[in-house]
Amino acid sequence: MISRINIELAAWTLGLILLAFLDPHAGLPSFCVFKAAGLEGCPGCGLGRAISHLLHGEWKESWESHRLAAPVLLMLLLRIGKLGRDQYLTLRYE
């Protein structure tokens, strides 16, 4: 049964759960490849922190961290919903 679980569904769900439980004020290390390479101006920097702020109800801090956090969170939730529905239908009718 576990081998039939959609990896993308598990990854997005786990990622959002982790962002919900992490403290966005904790100053955790960045996993940005651009920042690690010494480059400036990564378009995604701050997005994870901004989504974490949103999940904690900190709207202003989220907007200041990354302005696309709300649309990205909405798209992720819609994607998780679609993948979950597809997973359910696949397992139900097999």
**Average pLDDT, integer, range 5-14:** 94
For the stretch 30-84, pLDDT in tens is 778 888 888 887 888 889 999 999 999 999 999 999 999 999 999 999 999 999 9
Is the full-model pTM beyond 0.75? yes
End-to-end CA distance of the chain: 11
Instruction: Check the CA dihedral 10-18-16-89 and report its sign.
Output: positive
CA dist 82 and 41 (Å) reads 32
| Residue 1 pLDDT > 80 | no
In sequence order, what are the residues at sequence separation of 6 or more whose Cβ sits closer than 8 angstroms to the Cβ of residue 72?
Answer: 47, 51
